[in-house]
Structure 1
């Protein structure tokens, strides 16, 4: 799986987890959903994504790197 798809999967997972936590644990977990959304929004404009940095260190390659390898 490429870095770009991994980030989308991770963001979707975090949104779903935060909604479950909001429904069953405490309503303030909605702030986690807001944080994930805000991070996605700012990364669309700046290109900076902390999750991408972590995934890169774990060895996940971008689509360009995968295509270059052949």
Structure 2
């Protein structure tokens, strides 16, 4: 898997987890869901993604986006 696929899979997984936690535990988890969405949006325009930087240091193959 390249960095792009890992980032998208991780973001999707975290969104689903925080939506479930917001529904069953506390609505404050929806703020973390919003943070993930904002991070995806800003990375689309700037190309900066903290997870992509971590994965690059782990020598994962890069993709088209990161």
TM over 0.5: yes
Gaps of 5+ in 2: none
Gaps of 5+ in 1: 65-70
Q: Which has the higher contact order (CA 8 A, sep 6+)?
A: 2
Larger Rg: 1
Matched positions, count = 64
| TM-score (normalised: structure 2) | 0.89
Give the structure with the larger helix fraction: 1
* 4+ long deviations beyond 3 Å: none
| TM-score (normalised: structure 1) | 0.84
Q: Distance in 1 between matches of 2:30 and 2:54?
A: 24
